[in-house]
Structure 1
Amino acid sequence: MAAVDEIAPDIFRINMMTVPDEDFSTSFFVIRDEAPTLVETGFRRAYEETHDAVAAVIDPTTLRYLVVPHLEGDECGALNPFLAQAPHAVPVGSPIGVALNLSDFADREPRAVDADTELDLGEHKLRFLITPYVHTWESMLPYDVTSGTVFCSDVFIGPEGRRAVTDADQTDAMVRMYRTVGIFPSRAHLNHALDKIEAVHPQTLACHHGSVKAGNIATYLQVLRETDVTGVTEWNPMLEPPGS
C-alpha cells in the first residue's frame, strides 16, 4: 500500500516499497497548490494504488504539471494514465528529454524547461537544474524555491523507505548502493550536478529512493564529491556483461 507523508509545507511523498526484503522503495511527490503538480509519477503498473494516494492529497483531475526528471519506468511510467485523468495537465521535461523522449512517449504535447524557466504554482515556484548524465543524458532536477526542496531523483539514494524523512547520516549506505548499481557514468557530470545542487542551498533533499533527507546535506554533498561512485565498483549480477 502506498504511504503518504507531508515532507515540506504542502509537498507530499507518495512511497511504495519496490524491494521490500531489501528495504528499497520508490517515491514521487505531490505539490498541493493553485497549480497542483506531480514530480515523477511512479510505475505504470502501480497506477491504481498511487492514484488513490494522490487523491488523498488533491483531486487528480486538477493536475496542472507532471514533471519528468528523466525517462524511466519508476520516474514516469504512469505519466499517460495521470494525463488521461487530468485534461489540463502538461508533461514537463528537459530540452533533450522533450526532444528525444517525451514528445513521443507522452500522450500530450510536453513543455521543455531549462535553467531560466520558473513555473509559478501559486505559493510554490519550481525551477530546474539541468544535470546531463546524472544519471541519464536528459536528466534534470526540479527544485522548489519556496521551501528549498530539491527533488533529487536518483541522487542521494538510500535505505529506510518506510521512514519518510530522516536527519540521520546514511552516507555509507548511499555509497554501497551506488557502487552496486553503477548509475553515474562520469565524475565530471556528477560534480557538475553537485555544484548546481549546492548553489541553491537546499533545505530538503526529496529522494526518489529511500528517505527524504532533512539534515546532513553538506555531508551528503561532500561524500559524493570525495568517494568513487561512478561506474560499477562492486559486482552486480544484474549488470554482468553478456557471455561473461
Structure 2
Amino acid sequence: MSIINSESGTNVHEVSDGIYRINTPVVIQGGGGFSFNQYLIVDDEPLLFHTGPRRMFPLVREAIQSILPVERLRYIAFSHVESDECGSLNEWLAVAPQSMPLCGTVAAMVSIEDLADRAPRAIADGEMISLGTHRVRWFDAPHLPHAWECGFLTEERTRTLLCGDLFTQGGRDLPALTETDILGPSEAFRHEMDYFSHTKNADMMLERLAATEPTTLACMHGSAWHGDGAKVLRALADALSA
C-alpha cells in the first residue's frame, strides 16, 4: 500500500490485476472512523468506479495522478446517485475531456442526463463493455441495498465485483485487502444504521451476482475482500431473509 497524502492518509493499493483501491480514512461526527474507497481500472480506456464526495475530489485526483494521467480517464462510473458515489462527477468530467458518465439506464433517465455536464453512457442490464484487456458487465439491482437506480459492475477477467455499499464496514484503520470475515462487521453496521431498503427481491439479485463467482469484492467502505465471493453473497442473502 502506498500513502499518497500523509495529511489525509489517502492511499492506493492494487487489489486485483490492474484494479486499484483508492482509500481515504475519515473521522465521523460523534467519534469513530469510516473510509471512502474508489476503484480505478487501468486499461486502454480507464474506468473510475465511485467518484468520492465532491470535497474529496482533490485527494482522489492526487491519488489517481500517481497511477496515470487523470486526463486519460474514459468512464466515470458509479452504482447509484449519492454524494460518495458521484458527488464530484462534474469535476472529473472537467479534468478528463474524453470521459463520460457510465451508469444504469434508470440513473441516466431520472438524474444524470440533467445533473451531469456531459451526456451519460447508459448501460443496460447484462451489457458488457470492453476497456481493453478488462471487460466490465453491468447488473441492475434496484433497491439493493438502496436507490431505484442501483446496480453493480463486475470485471470478468479478474472476477472482481465492484459492489458499492454491499458489505460496508465501519472503521478507518482497516487493511486494504483482507481474507478475514467482512460479513459479520458489515451486518453489525447494517443493523445499527438500517440503510438497506428491505426489498423482497434481494435474494434473487444477490444470486445473480453470486453466479459470476467473484474472487474479489471491491467494497466502497472498508476493506476489499479476497476469497469465495459467491459464498459470502449467498450468506448475505440468507442474513437478509432471516
Q: Residue 147 in 1 paired to residue 158 in 2?
A: yes
Q: 1:187 to 1:96 in 2, by over 3 A?
A: closer
RMSD: 1.7
Letter in 2 for 1:137: W
* Paired positions, count: 230
Deviations 1:1-24 (A, max 9, x none): 211110001100011113365232
Partner of 1:234: none
Residue 218 of structure 1, CA deviation: 4.3
Partner of 2:15: 7
Deviations 1:36-72 (A, max 9, x none): 1101110110111110001011111011011121011
Deviations 1:82-111 (A, max 9, x none): 100111101011111000011111110001
Q: 1:84 to 1:91 in 2, by over 3 A?
A: same
Residue 229 of structure 1, CA deviation: 7.8
Letter in 1 for 2:102: V
Q: Which runs of 5+ in 2 are unaligned?
A: 1-7
Do the aligned residues in 2 keep the contact of 1:131 with 1:192 (CA within 8 Å)? no
Bigger shift: 100-109 or 214-223? 214-223
Letter in 2 for 1:144: E
Matches for 1:170-209 after TM superposition, within 5 Å: 170-209=182-221
Do the aligned residues in 1 keep the contact of 2:45 with 2:132 (CA within 8 Å)? yes
Match of 1:167 among 169, 179, 182: 179
CA distance in 1, matches of 2:195, 2:36: 16
CA distance in 1, matches of 2:238, 2:43: 38
Do the aligned residues in 1 keep the contact of 2:79 with 2:103 (CA within 8 Å)? yes
Secondary structure of the equivalent of 2:133?
A: coil
Match of 1:138 among 122, 134, 149: 149
Do the aligned residues in 2 keep the contact of 1:169 with 1:216 (CA within 8 Å)? no
CA distance in 1, matches of 2:48, 2:61: 11
Normalised by the length of structure 2, the TM-score is 0.90
CA distance in 2, matches of 1:67, 1:77: 12
Deviations 1:133-190 (A, max 9, x none): 0111100101101100000000112245541000001322111101112122124232
CA distance in 1, matches of 2:93, 2:241: 36
Q: 1:181 to 1:201 in 2, by over 3 A?
A: same
Bigger shift: 156-165 or 9-18? 156-165
Q: 1:217 to 1:225 in 2, by over 3 A?
A: same
Letter in 2 for 1:179: H
CA distance in 2, matches of 1:151, 1:88: 23
Do the aligned residues in 2 keep the contact of 1:175 with 1:229 (CA within 8 Å)? no
Secondary structure of the equivalent of 1:150?
A: strand
CA distance in 2, matches of 1:217, 1:22: 28
CA distance in 2, matches of 1:89, 1:112: 14
Matches for 1:14-163 after TM superposition, within 5 Å: 14-19=22-27, 21-134=31-144, 135-159=146-170, 161=172, 162-163=174-175
Secondary structure of the equivalent of 1:224?
A: helix
CA distance in 1, matches of 2:186, 2:153: 21
Partner of 1:235: none
Do the aligned residues in 2 keep the contact of 1:168 with 1:216 (CA within 8 Å)? no
CA distance in 2, matches of 1:197, 1:151: 10
Letter in 1 for 2:157: T
Normalised by the length of structure 1, the TM-score is 0.89
Letter in 2 for 1:18: V
Secondary structure of the equivalent of 2:97?
A: coil
Secondary structure of the equivalent of 2:200?
A: helix
Letter in 2 for 1:139: C
